[in-house]
Amino acid sequence: MAQGLAEAASSAPQDFAAFEHEAWTRRASGYCAWFESIVVQAIEPLLDAAGVRAGVTLADLACGPGFVAAAAARRGAKVVGVDFSASMLALARERFPWLCFEEGDALDLPFPDHSFDAVTINFGILHFAEPHRALREVFRVLRPGGSIAFTDWARPGPENAAYAIILAAIDAHADPVPLPPGPPLFQFASAGACRRALAAAGFDAAGADTRFLPQVWRLDCADDLLQAFAEGSARLGARIAAQSPARLDAIRAAIREGCRPYLQGSKVALPTGVVLTSARKPRVGQTDHGSDVLLSATERAGERR
Ligand SMILES: C[S@@+](CC[C@H](N)C(=O)[O-])C[C@H]1O[C@@H](n2cnc3c(N)ncnc32)[C@H](O)[C@@H]1O
């Protein structure tokens, strides 16, 4: 029994990773069509937080259709986009054929230590089966002093009405759907959780910055919210896909009701806030593998100058 439980626990991240991989293989174009207008709003603050400018070497992890990589290249950065979904990479290469994209797992990056000045992850960390392992990988591939910046959606509520409305409608009206257990969707929406995770991976957590980005998702009608998540999301997409027509009608009605305060004529403007976190890999006192080393007094004095 104990062994069975241990096996179940150790296979959970693989099951979740396989689920996410399959979801992003099937829903890449739906994601691109529905989510572009909201996810691109975070890009410039994300690149600013990571210190991306001309000449900076950048890995954009979970790059999806390449929006962040393209914006970084426009700043003059030397960027590679990495994603584990071949369908996402096909979209990225079709849209931005002049940029470099590589297939790879954020949990096991195909790069040597100290390869990059900066790493960005836009709405990717919430999809990783083992986000803490991904942060350790980011730490490894960053040069000392390098920066990480990543985004998550704000917790459902007035600042993130889009998620509040869709989650409330699904929770109230959907039949239960068994999904492989995965990390919480809003795990990186709190400054404290981000700091702890960054510290555990070796980053300078005291100097980490977490801030709220107020964003608004403009959709043609309330029904588009359900369509967007059905065609362009992983966990919620799977829950929606498994519902009967009657359940979908009830979900749709609840979404229309929830969107009522956000109607602007026939359209809706939904607050869809974002939490942006950034931190640095310490510049001194680290070995190639990120472990602490004791610097001699002379070296410390030199660093202070
Ligand atoms: C919500 S999309 C975000 C895409 C993009 N960053 C953007 O801003 O539009 C999440 C992306 O994470 C990718 N992803 C999830 N888990 C991954 C992993 N372990 N390694 C690499 N990519 C991963 C998915 O394939 C998908 O492209």
If pLDDT is split at 50, 70 and 90, which confidence band does 1 have? very low
How many angstroms does the Cα of residue 122 sit away from the middle of ligand 1?
8
Q: Could you give phi then psi for residue 54, rounded to 5 degrees?
A: -55, 135
Q: Which residue has the higher pLDDT, 279 or 13?
A: 279
Q: Residues with Cβ < 8 Å from 80, sequence gap 6 or more?
A: 58, 59, 60, 69, 100, 101, 102
Distance (Å, rounded) from C-alpha 58 to C-alpha 52?
A: 8
Q: Give the pLDDT score at 9.
A: 44
111, exposed or middle or buried, with CB in 10 Å at 0-12, 13-18, 19+?
middle
Distance (Å, rounded) from C-alpha 60 to C-alpha 138?
A: 10
Distance (Å, rounded) from C-alpha 93 to C-alpha 138?
A: 23
Residue nearest to atom 12 of ligand 1 (CA): 62
Distance (Å, rounded) from C-alpha 29 to C-alpha 265?
A: 28
Distance (Å, rounded) from C-alpha 302 to C-alpha 70?
A: 39
Kindly report the number of other CB atoms within 10 A of residue 292's CB atom: 10
How many angstroms does the Cα of residue 107 sit away from the middle of ligand 1?
12
Asked if residue 293 is part of any domain, the answer here is no
Asked if residue 5 is part of any domain, the answer here is no
Q: Could you give phi then psi for residue 255, rounded to 5 degrees?
A: -70, -40
SS3 278: strand
Asked if residue 266 is part of any domain, the answer here is yes
Q: Give the pLDDT score at 287.
A: 42
Q: Give the pLDDT score at 284.
A: 73
Q: What is the mean pLDDT of the chain?
A: 91
Per residue in 245-266, pLDDT (tens digit) is 999 999 999 999 999 999 999 8
Q: Which residue has the higher pLDDT, 12 or 285?
A: 12
Q: Which domain holds residue 149?
A: 10-281
Q: Give the pLDDT score at 285.
A: 58
Residue nearest to atom 26 of ligand 1 (CA): 64
How many angstroms does the Cα of residue 211 sit away from the middle of ligand 1?
21
Asked if residue 235 is part of any domain, the answer here is yes
Residue type, 54: A
Tokens of 30: 């739906």
Distance (Å, rounded) from C-alpha 278 to C-alpha 156?
A: 22
Residue nearest to atom 8 of ligand 1 (CA): 122
Per residue in 121-144, pLDDT (tens digit) is 999 999 999 999 999 999 999 999
Residue type, 116: F
Task: Report in angstroms the alpha-carbon separations of 97 from 24, 85, 101.
Answer: 20, 17, 9
Residue nearest to atom 15 of ligand 1 (CA): 127
Asked if residue 22 is part of any domain, the answer here is yes
How many angstroms does the Cα of residue 256 sit away from the middle of ligand 1?
29
Q: Give the pLDDT score at 115.
A: 97
Distance (Å, rounded) from C-alpha 16 to C-alpha 79?
A: 28
Q: What is the CATH number of the domain that holds 96?
A: 3.40.50.150
Per residue in 45-91, pLDDT (tens digit) is 999 999 999 999 999 999 999 999 999 999 999 999 999 999 999 99
Q: Give the pLDDT score at 19.
A: 96
Q: How many domains is the chain partitioned into structurally?
A: 1
Asked if residue 170 is part of any domain, the answer here is yes
Asked if residue 121 is part of any domain, the answer here is yes
What pTM did the predictor assign? 0.90
How many angstroms does the Cα of residue 205 sit away from the middle of ligand 1?
24
Q: ∠ CA 275-261-45 to the nearest 5 degrees?
A: 20
Query: Which atom of ligand 1 lies closest to the CA of 106?
Result: 20
DSSP state letter for 272: B
Distance (Å, rounded) from C-alpha 218 to C-alpha 272?
A: 10
How many angstroms does the Cα of residue 21 sit away from the middle of ligand 1?
9
77 in Cβ contact with 56 (< 8 Å) = yes
298, pLDDT greater than 50: no
Asked if residue 297 is part of any domain, the answer here is no
Q: Give the pLDDT score at 260.
A: 97
How many angstroms does the Cα of residue 92 sit away from the middle of ligand 1?
12
Distance (Å, rounded) from C-alpha 89 to C-alpha 81?
A: 9
Residues with CB under 6 A from ligand 1: 20, 24, 39, 62-65, 67-68, 83-85, 88, 105-107, 122-124, 127-128
Hunting for tokens 């990059």 — which residue is that?
116
If pLDDT is split at 50, 70 and 90, which confidence band does 222 have? very high
